[in-house]
Chains A and B, each alone.
Chain A
Amino acid sequence: MADPALRVEDLAKVFGGLAAVDGVSLAVAAGERRVLIGPNGAGKTTLFHCITGTLKPSSGSVALFGRDVTHDPEYRRTALGMGRTFQITNVFPDLTLGEHLALAIVGTDRRKWVLHRPAEAFDEVRARALEGLARVGLEGRAHLPAKLVSYGERRQLELALALNTNPKVLFLDEPCAGLSPAERQRISQMIAALPRGITLLMIEHDMDVALGLADRVTVLHQGRVILEGSPEEVRANAQVRDVYFGHGEALRG
C-alpha cells in the first residue's frame, strides 16, 4: 500500500499544563480531501501548526509521504511538497502581488539564491506569477502592493501563495475566515476546482463549505479526535451535534 500523504501518530502539544492537542492520530491518503472541524479551542490550529512545522509537538510524530518530518523545519517540509495557508492573513504588506508570487515560485528552487539578475528578468517566473494570480481571480492586480488590496483579495493571495510552491499536499487553515458569504463561495469554488491529485487537509468552520468539499471529516474536541467519517456520518452523528452545535439546535442544510 502506498504511504499516506500525511500520517500523524499520537501527537500531543502541551502549553504549560494545558494539552491543546492530546494524542491525535490520523492518516490522509494521497488525493484525499479531509476537513478538520471542531468547536473553538478544540486544538485544530495547534495541530495544524505541528503538522506544518510552525510548532514543535511535545510528543508523537508527523510524516509526509512516508517520511518522518517531526523534527524537520518548515522550509524542508515545503521542499517535500507541502503548501499551507495561515488562519490570520500572513502576507508582505509592501510587496506587490506579483512579487509575492515570484517569491513563492522561486522559493522551492535554486533561483532564490540568484544575486546578479533582477527578479523581473525571469520571464518564466513572471508568466507563472500572472497565471497564478489569475487562477485565484487576482488578474490585473500584479503591480499593487498587498497593503492596498482588499481583505478578501489578501485571502485569495494567501491561497495563491500556497498553490505556487508546487504542493502535493495542501494545508488550509480556515481559508474563508472573515469573508462575506459571496467571497466564501468564491474561495470554496476555487478550492473545489483544484486538481484531485493535490491532497487537502483543511480547517473549516462553515459546515456547508466543509461538508461540501470533504471526502472525509475528522472531528476534534478538546484536543482529541472524537469521530472520523464521511460527511454524511458526521452530519448524522449525535455526539458531533452535541459538541459542535450545542444542544437542541437544528442542523442546517
Chain B
Amino acid sequence: MDRARLALIVIALAFAAALPWLGGPFWTGLATQMLIFGLLALSVDLLLGHAGLFSLTHASFFAVSAYTVAILQVRYGWPTIAAAPAGIVLGTLLAAVFGISVRTRGVYFILITIALGYVVWGVAHRWSSFTGGDNGVTNVPFPALGPAAITSHTQYYYVVLAAVILCGLGYRVLIRSPFGLGLRGIKASETRMQSLGYRTGLHLYAAFVLSGALASFAGVLYVYYNKFVNPVASSFPVSVEAALMAIVGGTGSIVGPFLGAAVVLGLRNWVSSFVEMHHAIMGAVFIATVLWAPQGLVGIAQRIHARLAKGRHG
C-alpha cells in the first residue's frame, strides 16, 4: 500500500474516533446512520458492483433481522447475545429463500426482487398482532453483553464504527478471494465462466445469501441505534436508497457505498431543513451521477488522481 493511501486511512480513522468531541451528538448520530446504511449499501454492492445483479429487496433482510432482534428483546426478554445472532440467522434464511431470484437476469431479476420486497413490507404492515403494524416494535434497549452494557449513543457509535471496520476488512478478503474473482468473471461474461467450469447460478446464489447476511447484520446495528423498528425499514424506498448510495459513492469499491451513504443522508438532512421536496433533490443527484459520473465519487477521485499523476510525470 502506498504512503498517501495509508496516511488517508489514518486521518479518516482519527477523524472518526474524534467525531463525538468535534461534532457533538447531532453529528455523531448522523455518522452512526451513515455507517449503518453504508453497510447496507455495501451488501447491495456485493451483488451490484461485483456480480452484476441489481437487487431491490435488501430492505427485507435488513428489516426482518431488525424485527427479530426487537421482538425477541422487547417481548421475550432475550439478551443481546442471543437476539442479535438470531436476527442475522433469520435475515440470512430469508435471503436463502429469496435467492431463487438468481434464476433470472437483468430486468426480470430487478422485478422479482421488487415483488419479494413488497411481500415482506406487506407482512410487516398488515400482520399487526405480531409486528405491531404501523407502530412497529418500540423500546428496544441498547445492546448489552452481560455486565458490559452500552449506555449512550456516543458509546454505541464506537460499537458501530468497530463493527463496520471489521466488516470492511472481511469484505476486502471476500472480494479478493477466488470466489470474489469468480463473481467479477460472471459479471463480465457468464458464458465464458460456464465454459471454465463454473456453475454460475450456484455461485450467484451463494453471493446473494452472503449479501443478505451482511444486510441482516446492518439491520441488527440499525435496530439498536433506532430503538424501534416499523414497516418503513422494510419498504421499497429503503432498498432503492441503499442501491442509490452504492451508485452515488461508486460501485465495486468498499469506501464507495459509505461515501454514498454520507452524501445521501447528509444531503437529506441538510436539504430537508429548508426545502419540503428533498426527494426531488435526491432524484436530481441520482440523475446527475448516472449521466456524468457513472463510477460515482470513487470514480471521480480516481480520475483526479490519474490526472494529477499524469501532470507530475509528463
Taking Cβ atoms with an 8 Å cutoff, the residues of A that contact B are 52-54, 73-75, 78-79, 84, 86, 90-95, 99, 102-104, 106-108, 111-120, 122, 161-162, 165
Contacts and interface: CB of A to CB of B under 8 A. Distances in A.
B197 A78 contact: yes
B266 interface: no
B189 A117 contact: no
Interface in B147-202: 173-174, 176-182, 184-185, 188-189, 191-200
B184 A92 contact: yes
A103 B194 contact: no
Contacts of B173: 115-118
B179 A113 contact: yes
B188 A95 contact: yes
A92 B185 CA distance: 6
Nearest to A158: B192
A115 B174 CA distance: 5
A75 B198 contact: yes
Interface residues of B, number: 26
Contacts of B203: 112
Contacts of A165: 196-197
Contacts of A94: 184, 188
A99 B184 CA distance: 10
30 contacts: A53-B194, A54-B195, A73-B199, A75-B195, A84-B195, A86-B192, A90-B192, A91-B189, A93-B188, A94-B184, A102-B178, A103-B185, A103-B193, A103-B196, A103-B198, A104-B196, A107-B196, A112-B179, A112-B182, A115-B177, A115-B179, A115-B180, A116-B173, A116-B177, A117-B178, A118-B177, A119-B177, A161-B192, A165-B196, A165-B197
Contact of A102 (B181, B192, B194, B197): B181
A54 B192 CA distance: 10
Given A90-B189, A92-B185, A99-B181, 5 more contacts: A75-B194, A75-B199, A78-B197, A103-B198, A108-B197
Interface of B: 173-174, 176-182, 184-185, 188-189, 191-200, 203, 206, 210
Contacts of B179: 112-115
Contact of B194 (A73, A95, A122): A73
Contacts of B199: 73, 75
B176 A119 contact: yes
A95 B174 contact: no
B194 A117 contact: no
Nearest to A117: B177
Contacts of B198: 75, 103, 107, 112
B184 A120 contact: no
Contacts of A112: 178-179, 182, 197-198, 203
A183 to B, nearest CB: 21
Nearest to B184: A95
